[in-house]
Amino acid sequence: MSRGSRVGTGAGARRGAAGADGHRHGPGARRCGEMVEYLSDYLDGDLDAALRRTIDEHGGQCPPCRAFIRTLRATVEAVRSLPRRRLGRGAVRSLVVALRKASGGRL
């Protein structure tokens, strides 16, 4: 889904990765506070090209925002990397037997 430049996942977020209303960290940078609400959409590839380019350019000029974007990305990757528990075939069979018993003959 492509998102326009007027809607962000912050849904009214007014403060940015750099925090201050209207604060600019880099020369010529857009307001840092405008960046933060779009960052999940940015990472998920849900932004339109113009807004995406704006964030890329801002990140190139603003070290705090660049650090914020990188660590947010690393956070999501870490969540996705958490190990999953596996359920062996024997455990599934036992589960099926137990559930059949518990269902009172409905399975």
Contacting residues toward other proteins, per CB under 8 A: 1, 7, 9-11, 13-20, 23, 25, 32, 36-37, 39-41, 43-46, 55-56, 59, 63-64, 66-87, 89, 92-93, 95-96, 98-100, 102-103, 106-107
Quote the least distance from Cβ 77 to other proteins, whole Å. Answer: 5
Question: Is 58:35 a contact under the CB 8 Å cutoff?
Answer: yes
Q: SS3 of 47, please?
A: strand
Distance CA 91, CA 97 (A): 10
Quote the least distance from Cβ 72 to other proteins, whole Å. Answer: 5
The residue (of 28 and 86) whose beta carbon lies closer to other proteins is 86
Question: Is 62:47 a contact under the CB 8 Å cutoff?
Answer: no
Quote the least distance from Cβ 24 to other proteins, whole Å. Answer: 9
Cα-Cα-Cα-Cα dihedral of 60, 62, 64, 68, to 10°?
Answer: -40
Quote the least distance from Cβ 99 to other proteins, whole Å. Answer: 5
